[in-house]
């Protein structure tokens, strides 16, 4: 099997490529080739016995998507895109990366011809939903995004569903909650503070909290997120039905509850490294996001997330800190 991963230099893309390389197979079929692409060079995953092709390019540029699918990868994980606050601050960049790149990819697949119908797993976002919200967002809630990022993701969901309906590809879109705890340097996501208030104190660094501790949100770890992608790749068209975009499960908690989970795992000294610094832009963006999801359909289809935020903190320690909290 040939697998293509877009956005392979990003955090989720890297962890996904590592998981694919480590497993070496999907659904009992051996992975013989990995094509990894991003606007910066993706790292080579270790321990993979097959071929690895790395392509450093802009997916939205003319001809790039056609070149990537010319070798007919059977499975495509479309993870590429820019994050929420960046898409809000730079309208043109957000639409180019999130919408134009996706359409270029889907059209390139369509133009290969009827004999080619790959599985496409797309990372969407719960930002496709917009206020006013009920207490819990169920699987039938309407898409009325209140940010450019959410709008771009909603448009891509509709395109993915339409191209799947017309038989050009076999798509599934995953509406991800906040992915937390993200390792590495901070990115430009408005949700970045959810990770920073855990990651930075655990590393012995101070960080800022731009919103109230009462802010409520739903989270899944990078490990669970990669698990969502792998699981989605194995879902049949019959299991999915016509509604191919699915809200993923996660742990719903307040920022204050996140901080208390950090305290239980790492103690008072870690919590003391969080400094309150309200940011009106971040507060406005976060206020337009949904908070709690039922995700009954995803759970019925076999998607699994963590059961507590303590577990999410411990996964970060295990996966990204070598199993121990630095002194």
Give domain limits for the chain: 2-176+221-247, 192-217+251-320
Reported confidence tier of residue 200, pLDDT bands at 50, 70, 90:
very high
Q: How many other CB atoms sit within 10 Å of the CB of residue 227?
A: 18
Query: CATH top-level class for 192-217+251-320?
Result: alpha beta
Q: At residue 190, does pLDDT exceed 80?
A: no
DSSP lists the bridge partners of residue 253 as 217
Q: Could you give the CA distance from residue 38 to residue 55 in angstroms, rounded to a whole number?
A: 7
- Contact call for residues 206 and 273 (beta carbons, < 8 A): yes
Reported confidence tier of residue 189, pLDDT bands at 50, 70, 90:
confident
Token pair of 168, please?
Answer: 């050009």
Given the structure tokens 């893309």, which residue do they identify?
Answer: 13
Q: Is 40 helix (H, G, I), strand (E, B) or coil?
A: coil
pLDDT digits 0-9 by tens, 300-314: 999 999 999 999 999
Given the structure tokens 């359909």, which residue do they identify?
Answer: 297
Reported confidence tier of residue 285, pLDDT bands at 50, 70, 90:
confident
- Contact call for residues 68 and 5 (beta carbons, < 8 A): no
Q: Is 15 helix (H, G, I), strand (E, B) or coil?
A: helix
Cα–Cα separations (whole angstroms), residue 227 to 28, 38, 104 = 16, 21, 26
pTM of the complete model beyond 0.75: yes
Q: Could you give the CA distance from residue 32 to residue 121 in angstroms, rounded to a whole number?
A: 19
Q: Is 13 exposed, middle or buried (0-12, 13-18, 19+ CB in 10 A)?
A: buried
Rounded to the nearest 10 degrees, the angle between the axes of helix 192-202 and helix 255-266 is 20
Q: Which residues contact 242 (CB under 8 A, 6 or more apart)?
A: 161, 165
Cα–Cα separations (whole angstroms), residue 147 to 94, 205, 286, 304 = 11, 31, 10, 28
The CATH code belonging to domain 2-176+221-247 is 3.40.50.720
> Is 116 annotated in the active site?
no
């Amino acid at each position: 099997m040939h697998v293509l991963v877009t956005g392979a230099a990003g955090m989720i893309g890297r962890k996904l490529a590592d998981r694919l390389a480590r497993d070496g197979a999907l659904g009992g079929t051996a992975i013989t080739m990995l094509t990894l692409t991003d606007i910066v060079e993706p790292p080579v995953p270790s321990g993979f016995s097959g071929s690895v092709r790395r392509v450093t390019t802009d997916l939205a540029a003319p001809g790039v998507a056609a070149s990537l699918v010319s070798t007919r990868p059977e499975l495509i994980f479309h993870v590429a895109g820019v994050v929420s606050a960046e898409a809000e601050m730079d309208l043109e960049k957000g639409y180019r990366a999130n919408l134009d790149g996706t359409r270029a990819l889907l059209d390139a697949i369509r133009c290969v011809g009827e004999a080619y119908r790959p599985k496409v797993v797309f990372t969407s976002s719960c930002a496709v939903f917009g206020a006013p919200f009920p207490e819990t967002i169920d699987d039938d809630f309407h898409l009325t995004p209140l940010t450019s990022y959410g709008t771009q993701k909603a448009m891509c969901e509709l395109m993915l569903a339409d191209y799947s309906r017309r038989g050009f590809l076999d798509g599934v879109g995953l509406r991800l909650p906040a992915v937390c705890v993200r390792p590495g340097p901070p990115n430009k996501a408005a949700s970045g503070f959810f990770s920073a208030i855990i990651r930075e104190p655990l590393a012995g660094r101070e960080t800022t909290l731009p919103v109230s501790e009462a802010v409520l949100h739903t989270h899944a770890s990078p490990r669970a997120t990669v698990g969502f992608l792998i699981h989605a790749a194995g879902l049949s068209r019959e299991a999915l039905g016509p509604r191919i975009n699915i809200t993923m499960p996660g742990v719903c908690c307040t920022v204050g509850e996140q901080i208390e989970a950090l305290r239980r795992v790492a103690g008072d000294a870690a919590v003391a490294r969080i400094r309150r610094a309200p940011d009106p832009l971040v507060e406005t963006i976060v206020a337009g996001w949904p908070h709690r999801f039922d995700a009954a359909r995803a759970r019925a289809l076999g998607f699994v997330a963590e059961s507590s935020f303590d577990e999410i903190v411990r996964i970060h320690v295990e996966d990204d800190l070598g199993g121990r909290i630095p002194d």
